[in-house]
Chain A
């Protein structure tokens, strides 16, 4: 099946007994068994079954199966947020004293998790410029346990050479984790390019309507946990075979951290998935048109969109994303004041911290999502004072363009 079909029919669908086509929302905390022996067997892993929604839930299972199929993975664990997904994966892999290598232009929450939160547990992260593959090799030490990149860096808009980075990780016998939030499986299935684990903030394009927070972890099946550097995981989860890491999450890390997906949110994610492919096509088409419009505008200083032909990542976009540049772009008007005035002047676009909504969204990353970082750190992350980030929505392109045109005139007038 192709991706639009899988997004609708993949995994569990509907409810076999009633004929309902939508996956039922199983809004429950727990699951009753007839006998003490039956529930004891499930707890002991002697029989399959649901125990408690913090560990697994039927609505969430349907979402997990469908996401695993869409990413061409061997299994999935859905979480309460994208951050819960990233935290669970990374805390499932690193211990005190271990090291992480990550791209420098990523989502601020992920950078903060690595640098500050995990820093408190003496886990060290080296941030590298993803455009320069050699930096990943240079940063690897005997303590490195994983490499983490975003398929398109938010908001740096860099596109790492995933196959090359995967090769570097595998030479060191460690997994490559790719955050596929901005690109979604519609643009790339990172597993096909060597990624070992894919994470998502499903709050974005997968939900697609700005109505629920969620996340997901998919094991692509590329990494062999048995022969890797995570002896404790493969040992404790021996019975799980290739699913060792997902079992390690489900039975320990995810269960203990408590970042489970809410059944209602899993339903909303499933609903979002059904239209994902069509929406992504439109997001990409309008983003490219808007990038071209902004680049041709005399008052716009710069535009960063990997789908533009003269963008440094254009050829990689062609190779990895089939030529599509995604729904996100950044641009500058030369000064912070103009960026603020632009945001104050848009009428259609919403000024808020999110992306992947039906609505066009704008934000000034420097003073919001990245406000806790020093000017030096912001520079390393390529967050400039004049940068406006745009998540291009599903409105008619002409209306988005007209809104931007009038807001640029207002903010850059004399």
Chain B
């Protein structure tokens, strides 16, 4: 191992670090301690990672009392700024804590102290580079390495002599570990039919955000409206878009011919990508855009995704009108709404 134990090596080469103290500038004559001492009693051997024999007691304006005095005043000025800002904080608090004013005052209070401390450290405090040994904190000597291995083996041997108990403990521990996870299962219910169903159902009315049922005539051509199943506002998968396509030619599979009311179609508003509401409707192109990641669905073509990360069409909700002429669902969605999951089926 190498130690730079040559006094004056390295550190002293720096200008200002000084090559040992000159007799003239002994500020500490006759003291009980030597400020250049590195914490080690003179008769003790030097430990590894402590610098030795290098003088880092010098500071920037040591030989310039005039500039030292100016530095001191400068630091004091910084702290006065901080003091005034602190008083300002109190004033601002009493007068309602206007945010910009508060911010500036808090900032000044911090910055005043901070800049003052930095200046003090830079101009008036000792702290030159020194060189020390790193010591051997990353590896012990071989003797100690043997010692720990032996210590451990001494206890391990009697245990390892009972492989049966040892293995059983492992197995039991594993099983108990799994059992100990059961409290976590109480955090939530088991995944249930809610994954596949919404609050829509046969004859459930479509209502607006404030609970008003709708007639087909409430929706003008090219109109679009977010509707909810009556009494099921809180169902986050239920929001549905009613769109009046007028006489724009739209394609819907033959099996769903009676799922619309004239030009009015209903599609899930929940994006099949990651579940955001796909609510931006372009009347010219009849496309729905999801603002989260720009998936684009073509309403004229069964809400097929035509751009973006959405992998599937928005599911269609079959609608009709009830005896009072209000728009109702014919049934729930016939496939799970929203993003995919393992058992979506």
The reply to whether chain A is a binding partner of chain B is no
- Which of B's residues lie within 8 Å of A, judged by CB? none
Task: Give A contacts to B, CB under 8 Å.
Answer: none
